[in-house]
């Protein structure tokens, strides 16, 4: 396997202060390994296509190991500062909540020129990852809905990858992520923004107030730990509990956003959203959070059936529908971003717009900026294309 042939990435290269890390990143457990559920499809895929994350290994193992890159660090073009969320940033391009679960992942990508760095969603308590597989490549058959099929093996261009994930929003314990985050924040360069994604971990009987308090607790901790901005994850397609699709409940979302705002003061707040089932709901939501949040990040994955070639759900019967992302959602994301921008302009809302969905080429980001994005983020593609920020800066130093 590719990763086994390469040494792990070292943090603390020339761009960063070489301080040694204060926290030992011993994690929850290696859940899923040794269960016989290793994913042979992805093992073969990784043989033919580079991936910094090894989907045949558990999430915990990947967290400790860090991204596996080849070659020397790229030379990152120097570009002027701009503003996003009222803050000076080196570029309005970066990574969405997903492949940066700790400093071991976040700092190497910062060093590759990604300036908006979203820390994968954290919780107020440790949460194990779902068993393997957690991440598979898929073919959507050229359709925008209906089932997608696991690809075995991937033969095409990595820029055309669509994939599906089912992690269940795992989290380190707050003791671990708070210390790790504090350390990472001190390593970033001028103009690099660490955005921390947070979510609640409700018990089945929790009220909206309790959920809001749990969101606020995490957000407050993240700010204490050096977050430059907070992202409240109001949308996760792969959890069945109340935190999964809060954005479709406008009143509850407002309550959550109010509580977070009270906990974080003036720190910029983004809201991570999925695709709205109807435009009327989208308009109602945007109007309701205007003045409370600073912006929205959209979209999260699109939920579809994810099947193996023999029709069996690849993530198990309980997760027949899971989050699909990458190339397959790009066109619909451009359209969603355009519609959200239209509402923001028409209603004079003071919300910034971070767009995410299927960006793996310069022209993909161009399409999203043209549709009205203030910033463009990548979820999955930097795992396959770690040089993407350098490409973007070469083509568009003004971004
Ligand atoms: C490995 C992986 C893990 C993810 N985990 C999270 C998460 O914890 N929280 C979140 O809001 N979105 C998460 N996402 C979704 C991404 O932020 C993004 O919305 C989605 O991948 C679509 O972007 P893309 O088409 O560029 O991949 C994850 C995505 C990937 C690939």
The domain defined by 2-74+83-395 folds into: TIM Barrel (3.20.20)
Q: What residue spans of the chain are helical by DSSP H? A: 2-5, 40-48, 59-65, 103-111, 174-185, 208-224, 250-264, 279-289, 327-347, 362-371, 381-384, 388-395
The pTM for the full model equals 0.90
Establish whether the linkage from the previous residue to 362 is cis, with ω within 30° of 0.
no
Alpha carbon nearest to ligand 1 atom 6, residue: 98
Is the minimum distance from the CB of 233 to ligand 1 under 6 angstroms? yes
The alpha carbon of 323 and the centre of ligand 1 are apart by a number of angstroms equal to: 9
Alpha carbon nearest to ligand 1 atom 19, residue: 300
Strands 93-95 and 321-326 come out as unpaired
DSSP state of 317: G
Tokens 């028409």 appear where? Answer: 346
Tell me the β-bridge partners of 102. Answer: none
The alpha carbon of 319 and the centre of ligand 1 are apart by a number of angstroms equal to: 17
CA 219/CA 260 separation, integer angstroms: 6
Ordered per-residue pLDDT tens for the chain, 399 residues: 222 222 333 222 222 333 455 554 444 333 333 333 334 444 444 446 889 999 999 999 999 999 999 888 899 999 999 999 999 999 999 999 999 999 999 999 999 999 999 999 999 999 999 999 999 999 999 998 899 999 978 888 999 999 999 999 999 999 999 999 999 999 999 999 999 999 999 998 999 999 999 999 999 999 999 999 999 999 976 655 555 689 999 999 999 999 999 999 999 999 999 999 999 999 999 999 999 999 999 999 999 999 999 999 999 999 999 999 999 999 999 999 999 999 999 999 999 999 999 999 999 999 999 999 999 999 999 999 999 999 999 999 999
């Amino acid at each position: 396997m590719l990763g086994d042939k390469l040494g792990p990435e070292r943090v603390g290269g020339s761009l960063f202060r070489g301080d040694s890390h204060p926290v030992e990143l011993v994690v929850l457990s290696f859940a899923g390994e040794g269960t016989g559920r290793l994913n042979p499809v992805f093992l073969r895929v990784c043989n033919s296509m580079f991936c910094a994350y090894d989907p045949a290994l558990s999430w915990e193992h990947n967290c400790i190991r860090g991204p596996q890159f080849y070659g020397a660090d790229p030379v990152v073009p120097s570009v002027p500062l701009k503003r996003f969320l009222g803050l000076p940033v080196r570029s309005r391009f970066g990574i969405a909540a997903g492949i940066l679960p700790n400093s071991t992942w976040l700092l190497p990508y910062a060093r590759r020129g990604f300036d908006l760095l979203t820390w994968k969603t954290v919780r107020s308590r440790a949460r194990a990852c779902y068993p393997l597989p957690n991440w598979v490549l898929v073919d959507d058959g050229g359709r925008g809905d209906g089932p997608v099929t696991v690809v075995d093996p991937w033969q095409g261009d990595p820029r055309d990858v669509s994939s599906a994930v089912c992690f269940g929003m795992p989290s380190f314990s707050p003791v671990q992520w708070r210390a790790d985050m504090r350390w990472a924040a001190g390593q970033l360069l001028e103009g690099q923004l660490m955005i921390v994604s947070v979510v609640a971990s409700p018990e089945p009987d929790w009220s909206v107030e309790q959920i809001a308090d749990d969101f606020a607790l995490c957000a407050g901790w993240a700010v204490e730990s050096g977050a430059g901005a907070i992202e409240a994850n109001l949308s996760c397609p792969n959890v069945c509990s109340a935190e999964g699709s809060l954005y479709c409940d406008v009143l509850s979302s407002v309550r959550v956003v109010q509580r977070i705002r009270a906990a974080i003061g003036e720190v910029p707040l983004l809201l991570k959203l999925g695709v709205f089932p109807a435009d009327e709901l989208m308009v109602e939501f945007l109007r309701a959070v205007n003045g409370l949040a600073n912006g929205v990040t959209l979209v999260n994955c699109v939920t579809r059936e994810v099947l193996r070639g023999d029709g069996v759900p690849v993530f198990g019967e309980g997760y027949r529908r899971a989050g699909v992302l990458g190339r397959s959602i790009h066109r619909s994301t451009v359209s969603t971003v355009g519609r959200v921008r239209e509402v923001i302009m028409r209603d004079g809302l003071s919300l910034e717009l971070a767009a995410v969905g299927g960006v793996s080429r310069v022209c993909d980001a161009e399409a999203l900026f043209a549709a009205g994005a203030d910033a463009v983020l990548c979820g999955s593609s930097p795992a396959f294309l770690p040089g993407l920020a350098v490409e973007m800066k070469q083509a568009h130093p003004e971004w």
